[in-house]
Amino acid sequence: MTVRFRVAAPDDRAFIVDSWVEGYRHCHAAGLIPMPHYQRVYREACNWMLDRPGVTVTIAESDGTLLGWIAVEQGVVVPTHHRDGGKWQDSLEPANCPMVLYAFVKDPYRRHGIGRALFAAGGVDLASPFLYASKTPTSDRLRDKAPFAKWNPLAARFAKKG
């Protein structure tokens, strides 16, 4: 199988959002969203994140079959909460590394190196620091492959000031 990587096209959006929403549905890290509201809330959240400045989605495909994708944001800001003169202050500081919003590979194509190749195609070096926003059972295995990866979902919740 020859795998090709390309920037996502508008026609890919349904595949991206559907796989993200369904793949995250039963993850503990998805938060306290009641299931009757989950589809609406997470679809809105995924679309909001995908539309952020600096987000690029890379698609893996083979012979017209979509195999997976990775959404990576550059120029990420990290919220900090600190004391300044006795008052708590919030600020946004540059992360100085990319953030993986979500990565997905269809079940039949997992364990073939496509996920690792998607990280590289998306500009994320597994041997360098990066943030990731969505914690799943699969991302828990990142510790061995990406020792400098740090889970920081809070960074994905704040819009960059511009």
pLDDT of res. 63: 95
What's the pLDDT tens digit per position in 45-54? 999 999 999 9
pLDDT (0 to 100) of residue 29 = 74
Say how many C-beta atoms besides its own lie within 10 A of residue 49's C-beta. Answer: 19
CB 8 within 8 A of CB 69: yes
Residue 75 backbone class (left: φ over 0; alpha: ψ -120 to 50; beta: rest)? left
Spatial contact of 146 and 104, defined as CB atoms under 8 Å apart:
no
Using CA atoms, how far residue 92 sits from 49, 99, 162, in Å, is 17, 15, 12
pLDDT per position as a tens digit, 71-130 = 999 998 888 877 777 787 777 888 899 999 999 999 999 999 999 999 999 999 999 999
Domains of the chain in start order, with CATH, are 4-157 (3.40.630.30)
